[in-house]
């Protein structure tokens, strides 16, 4: 009887540990889907290929120009393989201005399964001559979280 109770106790402890740890251990961070950053910009990563190339759209909430903002295409690549928190990079050649931004970052997933993209960017402005090159690049960071309310899910969008 004592042995049986010990075994049941052991099984319960294992089950509890599994339930607590499994989301953190099993969930892979995926770039696919809709994201919003700390500035309120919106990004939609539509598909990731088997080699890690991806594309999507970016709607920035801010601009360094006076031109009306519109949606721009983005193209990037992420590390593939057995990576739960992959690094990635993508480029946005802004469709409404002659500027270009490159982002690099990492897709993190916390112990509750919540995904976050921590990024750093370089924004290249177009200047008239190489003498002005020194003032042509801005640098910054953005944190993206999922826009759950618009989520279309992930199924069927891995190329």
Angle at 155 between CA 151 and CA 156, to 5 degrees: 120
Gap between the Cα atoms of 154 and 156, Å rounded? 6
* Closer Cβ to ligand BTN, 36 or 48, answer by number: 36
Residue nearest to ligand BTN (CB): 41
- Within 75-134, the residues that bind ligand BTN by CB under 6 A are 94, 97, 99, 101, 121, 123
Does residue 30 touch ligand BTN according to CB under 6 A? no
Joined together, the tokens standing for residue 3 give 């042995």
- Within 32-51, the residues that bind ligand BTN by CB under 6 A are 37, 39, 41
Q: Which of 109, 124, 158, 117 is nearest to 141 (CA)?
A: 117
* Closer Cβ to ligand BTN, 125 or 157, answer by number: 125
Gap between the Cα atoms of 112 and 123, Å rounded? 33
CB 30 within 8 A of CB 45: no
Does residue 137 touch ligand BTN according to CB under 6 A? no
Footprint of ligand BTN (CB under 6 A): 37, 39, 41, 60, 62-65, 94, 97, 99, 101, 121, 123, 140, 142
């Amino acid at each position: 009887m004592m042995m049986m109770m010990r075994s049941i106790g052991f099984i319960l402890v294992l089950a509890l540990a599994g339930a607590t740890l499994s989301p953190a251990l099993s969930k892979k961070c995926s770039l696919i889907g809709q994201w919003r950053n700390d500035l309120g910009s919106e990004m939609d990563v539509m598909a990731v290929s088997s080699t890690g190339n991806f594309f999507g759209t970016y709607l920035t909430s801010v601009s360094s120009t006076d031109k009306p903002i519109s949606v721009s295409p983005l193209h990037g690549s992420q590390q593939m393989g057995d990576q739960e928190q992959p690094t990635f990079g993508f480029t946005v050649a802004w469709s409404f201005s002659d500027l270009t931004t490159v982002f690099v970052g990492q897709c993190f997933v916390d112990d509750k399964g919540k995904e976050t993209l921590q990024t750093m960017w370089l924004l290249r402005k177009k200047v008239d001559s190489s003498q002005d090159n020194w003032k042509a690049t801005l640098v910054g960071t953005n944190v993206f979280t999922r826009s759950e309310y618009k989520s279309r899910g992930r199924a069927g969008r891995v190329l």
